[in-house]
Amino acid sequence: PCNENFGAYALGTRDTVKNLEWIYEHTQGRTSDGSESDFTWQTGIRHDKSNSRPEFSKLLRDLNERVRAQMAAAGGGQAGP
């Protein structure tokens, strides 16, 4: 999610630095007595680093190719680039 959108509604500011500082401060681990620990809640989007997902631009090119082939087969529309 967009930190500026979150900040505007939850914190009343669109200041990116203030919003990110708030997120950082509220994702720090604490021990049972309230003191800081080295644990940090991980936030954000996790990406697959195993390269098991196809490149997004390849997905779009393949989709474009399929649509053009379907249009050409149906005899409608312009099938060229």
Query: Helices in 1-55 by DSSP H: which ranges?
Result: 3-6, 16-25
Structure tokens at 62: 């393949």
The rounded distance, in Å, linking the Cα atoms of 37 and 77 is: 62
Rg (alpha carbons) of the chain, rounded to whole number: 23
Tens of pLDDT, residue by residue over 24-64, are 888 777 777 878 787 776 766 677 677 777 788 989 999 99
Instruction: Give the angle 18-24-30 at the CA atoms, nearest 5°.
Output: 140
Q: Residue ranges per domain, the chain?
A: 1-43, 53-81
Measure CA 80 to chain center: 33
pLDDT at 2 over 60: yes
Q: What is the pLDDT confidence band of residue 1, given thresholds at 50, 70 and 90?
A: low
Mean pLDDT value across residues 71-80: 75
Residue 64 has a pLDDT of 96
